């Protein structure tokens, strides 16, 4: 069985992220691909980064923590 584990970097699954799920993907070293255990997404690092960029565009501030007093500026 292929050795699977976390890649050198943790990437969230862009496919799940688009659906408001924050899932860390696993890395298949044999294939050089990241894969998601929740959906059927697999992709190479470049593909993951590209798709995560799209997701980030949609959720630009999602990963940012806001302090309550920052909200008052909006």
Q: Which residues bind Zn ion (CB under 5 A)?
A: 13, 15-16, 36, 38-39, 41
Bridge partner list, 69: none
Token digits of residue 19: 């659906």
CA distance 74 to 71: 6
- Name which of 18 and 73 has its Cβ closer to Zn ion: 18
User: CB of residue 12 vs Zn ion: minimum separation in angstroms?
Assistant: 8
Strand, helix or coil at 40? coil
Quote the least distance from Cβ 69 to Zn ion, whole Å: 35
**Shortest CB 30 distance to Zn ion, Å:** 20
């Amino acid at each position: 069985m292929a050795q699977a584990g976390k890649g050198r970097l943790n990437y969230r699954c862009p496919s799940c992220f688009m659906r408001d799920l924050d899932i860390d993907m696993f890395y298949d070293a044999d294939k050089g691909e990241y894969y998601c255990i929740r959906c059927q997404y697999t992709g190479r690092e470049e593909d993951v980064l590209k798709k995560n960029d799209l997701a980030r565009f949609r959720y630009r501030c999602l990963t940012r923590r806001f302090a309550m007093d920052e909200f008052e500026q909006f």
